[in-house]
Structure 1
Amino acid sequence: MMKFLLSSRFLLSLSLSSFLLIAGCNFSGLFVHLEDDPVFVDPTAQATPAGGAIAAGGPGAASFAKICASCHQGNGKGIPGVYPPLAGSAFANGDPSVPIRIVLQGFKGKIVRDGKEYNGLMAPWKDQMTDQDIADVLTYVRSSFGNTGAAITPEEVTAVREKTKTQLSGWDEASLQSPL
């Protein structure tokens, strides 16, 4: 029996059967290509401008594609269950200090948007981005994806950076409710 299992004919048959099984599964849809995945969004895809106070694009678009789109996606819709959408976000459209604080010190904890729970962790960018960079990317976000927020200036970012310099860890939803 052992001789049969080690014979080249048996090994060839086993290899061919395995190959056909895997190929058959692929044709029946067991393996899904990323482009077929309903949550996959190309992070390099251009955001669609949909009104807003500022024309979409500008210097913030490149920074968004490079830094933010990998989590929030190129269309601003986020990743279900992990990273919340920026499209239509009350945080993005409201008090400018809120998105500035989030970009500077990061975000942690659960957040519920449109009945969906997200529990991702956003890293702080205060040491990697200048005030101009932060202003540019947030202005882009606030004027893209259907958002209608006003532009953010580097001076606003500088003021928030100064007021929050003692914040050592990421914000949670409750702490962002308090005005600066």
Structure 2
Amino acid sequence: MNMQKFGFRIVIVGLTLSAAVFLAACNVEGFFVKLTDDPVWVDPNAAAAETAGAADAGGPGKGIYGRICAACHLGSGKGVPGNNIPPLAGSALASGDANKPIGIVLHGFRGPIERNGVKINGQMAAWKDQLSDQEIADVLTYVRGAFGNSGSAVTPDEVKTLREATASRTLPYAEAELP
């Protein structure tokens, strides 16, 4: 009987030590608080307000760019040529004929290109099913006026016209095929 009590105590001590080690390992900053700490209020609308402020500073296109395009082309518009993501900053294609960037955003892009002396062989997704004509016009107007680009504004009617004219297109554009 004494042996059973001894074994039970060993198990309890082992479990207690294991729990202590586990809890100590979890003690990342902010995980445990002192009872004397004041609670910190985190406003759930703060991120939305911050995004809205950024969009106001660069028009609605800046918010769309930040939400969708910046993940690849970066917030600076410099892209990552080493990872086959071309720059939008200083881009003659972005600043030139609006139909080319409209077509790329609508249907995507594939294949080799050369930008700023760097060969890139990447692919971009099509956004025709996710973005409205207004959203595409807004984001392209932003890109064409940001990052050192000097293109004119894009209108929703321009996007709608090209969307309708290329509605049957199923493949991303290659550079030679751009409208």
Which residue pairs with 1:65 in the alignment?
A: 66
For each residue in 1:49-95, what CA deviation from the matched residue of structure 2 results, as whole angstroms up to 9, or x when unmatched? Answer: xxxxxx97100000000000011000000002310000111110010
Which residue pairs with 1:102 in the alignment?
A: 104
For each residue in 1:19-74, what CA deviation from the matched residue of structure 2 results, as whole angstroms up to 9, or x when unmatched? Answer: xxxxxxxxxxxxxxxxxxxxxxxxxxxxxxxxxxxx97100000000000011000
Q: Name which structure has the greater RCO, CA cutoff 8 Å, separation 6+.
A: 1
Q: In the alignment, which of 154, 161, 167 is matched to residue 169 of structure 2?
A: 167
Distance 1:166 1:87 in 2: 31
For each residue in 1:142-163, what CA deviation from the matched residue of structure 2 results, as whole angstroms up to 9, or x when unmatched? Answer: 0000000000000000000011
Structure with greater helix percent: 2
1:127 lines up with 2:129 in the alignment: yes
Which residue pairs with 1:37 in the alignment?
A: none
Q: 1:101 to 1:56 in 2, by over 3 A?
A: farther
Q: 1:140 to 1:91 in 2, by over 3 A?
A: same
TM-score calculated relative to the size of structure 2: 0.67
Which residue pairs with 1:27 in the alignment?
A: none
**Paired letter, 1:171:** Y
Which residue pairs with 2:116 in the alignment?
A: 114
TM-score calculated relative to the size of structure 1: 0.66
Shift in Å, 1:101: 0.2
User: Which of the pair has more CA radius of gyration?
Assistant: 2
Shift in Å, 1:118: 1.1
Distance 2:162 2:81 in 1: 30
Q: Is the 8 A contact 1:56 1:143 kept in 2?
A: no
Q: 1:91 to 1:160 in 2, by over 3 A?
A: same
**Paired letter, 1:59:** P
1:137 lines up with 2:135 in the alignment: no
Structure with greater strand percent: 2
Shift in Å, 1:119: 1.5
Identity percentage of aligned residues: 59
Distance 1:71 1:95 in 2: 23
SS of residue in 2 equivalent to 1:152:
coil
RMSD across aligned C-alpha pairs, in angstroms? 1.6
Distance 2:57 2:111 in 1: 30
Distance 1:115 1:145 in 2: 18
SS of residue in 2 equivalent to 1:70:
helix
Tell me which stretches of 4 or more aligned residues in structure 1 moved more than 6 Å: none
Shift in Å, 1:129: 0.2
* Aligned residue runs from structure 1 range 30-109, under 5 A: 57-81=58-82, 82-109=84-111
Q: In the alignment, which of 158, 167, 174 is matched to residue 156 of structure 1?
A: 158
Which residue pairs with 1:146 in the alignment?
A: 148
